[in-house]
Amino acid sequence: DTGVSQDPRHKITKRGQNVTFRCDPISEHNRLYWYRQTLGQGPEFLTYFQNEAQLEKSRLLSDRFSAERPKGSFSTLEIQRTEQGDSAMYLCASSSGGRGRNEKLFFGSGTQLSVL
């Protein structure tokens, strides 16, 4: 499967613990997005990378959230001191960016986080 892959698929953690998720985009894609989705809502934009540069971070993202994309390849999203409100599906998407705003996003299967 050469699509976007995310790991793990599911994560259960206790409140206050740190968690890290990984996203491997399609290899030639230079743009990478993180979204968060809760029940009954659409994907909410969290942050976005163009190669290794993090170009925007949503106000939804508190200081407990950090994302990296070293060398412009895979990306990690870390949540420190998790809270129950962090429970959600975390989606990663990538695109080649070749068509500008008409880019097609390719999504991963997501990581379902449950904070107990």
Partner 1 sequence: AQRVTQPEKLLSVFKGAPVELKCNYSYSGSPELFWYVQYSRQRLQLLLRHISRESIKGFTADLNKGETSFHLKKPFAQEEDSAMYYCALSAFYTGGFKTIFGAGTRLFVKA
Strands across the sheet containing 65-68: 5-7, 19-24, 75-79, 65-68
Helix ranges restricted to H, the chain = none
Restricted to residues 46-75, the positions that interact with partner 1 (CB under 8 A) are 48, 50, 55-56
Identify which of residues 60 and 116 has a Cβ nearer to partner 1 in the complex: 60
The three-point CA angle 51-56-62 to 5° equals 125
Task: Count interface residues toward partner 1 (CB under 8 A).
Answer: 26
Binding test (CB under 8 A) with partner 1, winner from 11, 25, 32, 33? 33
The two tokens of residue 25 are 């985009």
The answer to whether residues 90 and 79 touch, using CB atoms and an 8 Å cutoff, is: no
> What single-letter amino acid sits at 100?
G
Q: Is residue 30 near partner 1 by the rule CB under 8 A?
A: no
| Least distance between partner 1 and beta carbon 55 (Å) | 4
**Residue selected from 2, 27, 84, 102 as contacting partner 1 according to rule CB under 8 A:** 102
The footprint of partner 1 (CB under 8 A) covers: 3, 33, 35, 40-45, 48, 50, 55-56, 91, 93, 100-110
